Amino acid sequence: MDEATLGLIIELQLQDIEVLASSSKGKQRDGEVPDPVVAVDAYKEELEVLRQSARDAVMSRSLADAVRLDGDVIIALELNEQQAREDRKIAQQMHAGGDVRQQQTRPRSNSAQSTLSHVDNDLYEKMLALNVRDEPGESSRWAAPFHSGPKQCDICTEERAAYLVAGLPCGHNYCRVCLVQLYTDSLTDESLFPPRCCQRPIPIESAKHLLPRTLIGRFKARETELNTPNRTYCHRPACSTFIPVQFIVANTGMCPNCRAATCVTCKGAEHRGEDCPKDESTQQVLELARQQGWQRCHSCHRLVELNHGCNHITCKCRAEFCYECGAKWKTCECAHFQEERLIARANVIVDRDPGAANLTAQAREQMRQREMQNLLQNHECAHRRWNYRGGRHQCEECHHLLPNYIFECNQCHILACNRCRRNRL
Phi, psi of 420, rounded to the nearest 5 degrees:
-70, -40
Q: Lowest-confidence range among 56-60, 120-124, 159-163, 389-393? A: 120-124
Q: Report residue 138's pLDDT band, with 50, 70 and 90 as the boundaries.
A: very low
Q: How many CA atoms lie within 13 A of 396 on its CB side?
A: 16
Instruction: Give the mean pLDDT of 190-205.
Output: 89
pLDDT of residue 105: 46
Instruction: Give the best-scoring range by mean pLDDT among 31-40, 178-187, 277-286, 305-314.
Output: 178-187
State pLDDT tens for residues 229-260. 888 999 998 998 999 888 988 788 999 889 99
Q: What span, in angstroms and rounded, lies between the C-alpha atoms of 177 and 217?
A: 18
Domains and CATH numbers, the chain: 150-227 (3.30.40.10), 229-272 (no CATH), 294-336 (no CATH)
Write down the H helix ranges in 70-175.
71-95, 112-115, 121-129
Q: How many CA atoms lie within 13 A of 211 on its CB side?
A: 24
Residues paired with 296 in a beta bridge: 303
* Angstrom distances, CA of residue 34 to CA of 17, 94, 329: 16, 82, 46
Residue 145 has pLDDT above 60, yes or no: no
Q: What span, in angstroms and rounded, lies between the C-alpha atoms of 142 and 140?
A: 5
Asked if residues 206 and 174 have their Cβ atoms less than 8 Å apart, the reply is no
pLDDT of residue 125: 54
Q: Lowest-confidence range among 70-74, 93-97, 191-195, 366-370? A: 70-74
* Angstrom distances, CA of residue 246 to CA of 87, 229, 268: 61, 14, 19
pLDDT of residue 142: 46
pLDDT of residue 133: 47
Instruction: Give the best-scoring range by mean pLDDT among 3-7, 118-122, 262-266, 305-309.
Output: 262-266
The region that residue 318 occupies, defined by phi over 0 for left and psi between -120 and 50 for alpha, beta otherwise, is: left
Q: Report residue 283's pLDDT band, with 50, 70 and 90 as the boundaries.
A: confident
Residue 71 has pLDDT above 50, yes or no: yes
Q: How many C-beta atoms lie closer than 10 Å to residue 76's C-beta?
A: 12
Q: Burial level of 273, CB count in 10 A (0-12/13-18/19+)?
A: exposed
pLDDT of residue 123: 53
Q: How many CA atoms lie within 13 A of 21 on its CB side?
A: 16
pLDDT of residue 178: 92
State pLDDT tens for residues 331-354. 888 887 788 888 888 888 888 888
pTM, rounded to two decimals: 0.56
Instruction: Give the mean pLDDT of 129-136.
Output: 49
